[in-house]
Structure 1
Amino acid sequence: MRLSIDAFLDYTLAGPADLLFALEVAQMHDQILITDRLIVGGVEPLRPIIGDESLGRRTWAYGEGRITAHYTATVDIERAPTVLHGLHADKLKDLPPLVVPYLFPSRYCEADRFETAVRREFGDEEGGDKVQAMADWIRGHLDYVPGSSDVNTTAADTYVSHSGVCRDFAHLLIAMARAAGIPARMVGAYAWQLDPPDFHAVVEVWLEGGWHLVDPTGLAPTEGIARIGVGRDATDISFLTVFGQAQFNHQQVRVELVDTDRSLGVPR
């Protein structure tokens, strides 16, 4: 499918500050970036850098006062719906070096605190079936409640409160998967059919030698997700990090399906 993406941010800085944007869709084998453009107002010249694991890129800026960022893109998603059933977990000793860090606890995903609960609740499952059971459990036990968490909320907090937003659902699945010895990382993304439209946080788990997308909220189909970047948890995938004080003014994200004549490769 071809997606049209339009994201706009509007902030006011309390003083001069460095900013790190992560808004641009990553060019990957299953998502082909056709066109994109990032315009940032109120800053000095931009400096792009490669994103984590060399996926996508981030952009440094320095500014003060009112800051706006407008990102537009057209991307072709060439990905089938994720099917976890029957996928085997890799032996830990066979994991690629870049995958190993996604086994460990991180700031928001305290995997070591979930080992007993995961054994008790999902001990009879293996591999992809275990991850699917975890995702189903999360959807069945957590309520999606905007405003129910903040930047300090961890996976353990979400497990206790039984509520959260997409980042909290993702943190909990990541913590559970890592507790079971399955590498898991967080993905910042744009998502088709997400309602209300916004930036989205989902998960990738490592099974049978590759990463597989999972949306623990169930709010967006995995075949309609355009990745921006990946990381250990929300710390690494923030769409905007301000090294200073900032006031939020306005934000808008639109992801729409483009009706395309595949024989010509152009929108109808």
Structure 2
Amino acid sequence: MTQTVLITGASTGFGKAAALHFATHGWQVVATMRNPDAGADLAANKNILVTRLDVQDLVSIEGAIVEGIDRFGGIDAVVNNAGFGLFGIFEGASREKIQEQFDVNLFGVMDVTRALLPHFRARRRGTIINVSSGAGVFGLPMISLYNASKFALEGFSESLSYELASQGITVKIVEPGGVLDTKFGARSSDEFGSACVPAGYEDFVTATGKVFEGLRASRHATSEDVAKVIFEATTDGTDRLRYVATDDIQPLVRARRETSEEAYMHFMREQFRA
């Protein structure tokens, strides 16, 4: 039986690549985005329905779900992919930007998930894929708010997985690092450009920028690589919780998860001394 996935943030990056990957493998796709005009090329695929969903707009969430069910008869999986990253010194971030970071990266995921759960529970099945980040595993300076939203997403997803197992519903987390072909970095740079750098942080910002340049140089993955991991997590039939999606973050993931707290903190602090 043909299955259907709803994907948020499908206009670019991981979301768009995942929509195409699922459709290529015979799935029906509800590709959602804030501006459906941005998905005109996806809409040309007979397996893909492009519709509006803004994770900060509850009415649009309900509408996209109803439209997807009406078109395809049901939804079997959701990929909570929509998100963005604030970049800059925490002290220089406005409360409004902090709220937006959590509204999109965490509360939006919760709202989409909550809206779909009655449908999944009625069918006694469903798969929830939450796209996290290496920043949901290890902390980095200059992205403390993005880190906070993704750490929260990881905790929420793990806890939710225990609850929903009782309903036949599986929760999974996909953890990508930086990739070469998304607009994520450009938006982060724009956000940094509009943020305030309080006096006294200048040397630290300069030194940290050099570390991030090195991290960016290690990127080799593409959105299609991440889409393949999202598809694997959705279809492998296991209850595995976490999937590291790109090789560039593997050293930091291993340092966080496989070494002592003392060794890990010493290693990280050495990287970011101004």
Q: TM-score, normalised by structure 2?
A: 0.25
Higher strand share: 1
TM (normalized to structure 1)?
0.25
